[in-house]
Amino acid sequence: MSENCIFCKIANGEIPSQFVYESDNVVVFNDINPQAPVHMLVVPKVHVESLNELEDKNLMAELFKAVKKSTKKLNIKDYRTVINTGKEAGQEVFHLHIHVMAGRKFSWPAG
């Protein structure tokens, strides 16, 4: 757990929140500032700063399993996943997370 990390606090229950899905090492909760009707964040319980620091292949697999479990739970088949890595790419919270967005049409390429 990294001090003053908001996602550590959420993932470890220090800040009470409702999880869409939870497994041993991963939680899924709603984004506070949703960019789509459905906007969830898939977050490892352990503090990993970004995808660049993710070495654990099992955790990698568990994160993507959580994407599938939570979309399936909400009966969502079309969705966009985004991982911002680094400031230049738009990362603002430096605890790895996968954005999962659905419920509207998305354009490509993204800006």
Give me the active site residues, please: 97
Picked from ligand AMP, Zn ion, none, the partner binding residue 13 (CB below 5 to 8 A depending on kind) is none
Q: Is 13 left (phi over 0), alpha (psi -120 to 50) or beta?
A: left
**Closest distance of CB 14 from Zn ion, Å:** 11
Distance between CA atoms of residues 15 and 76, nearest Å:
27
Structure tokens at 59: 């955790």
Q: Is 65 in a helix, a strand, or coil?
A: helix
Picked from Zn ion, ligand AMP, none, the partner binding residue 12 (CB below 5 to 8 A depending on kind) is none
Is 27 in contact with 40 (CB distance < 8 Å)? no
**Closest distance of CB 5 from Zn ion, Å:** 3
For Zn ion, which is the closer residue by CB, 39 or 95?
95
Interacting positions 10-69 with ligand AMP (CB under 6 A): 31-33, 41
| Closest alpha carbon to 99 in 31, 2, 7 | 31
For ligand AMP, which is the closer residue by CB, 58 or 88?
88
**Closest distance of CB 33 from ligand AMP, Å:** 4
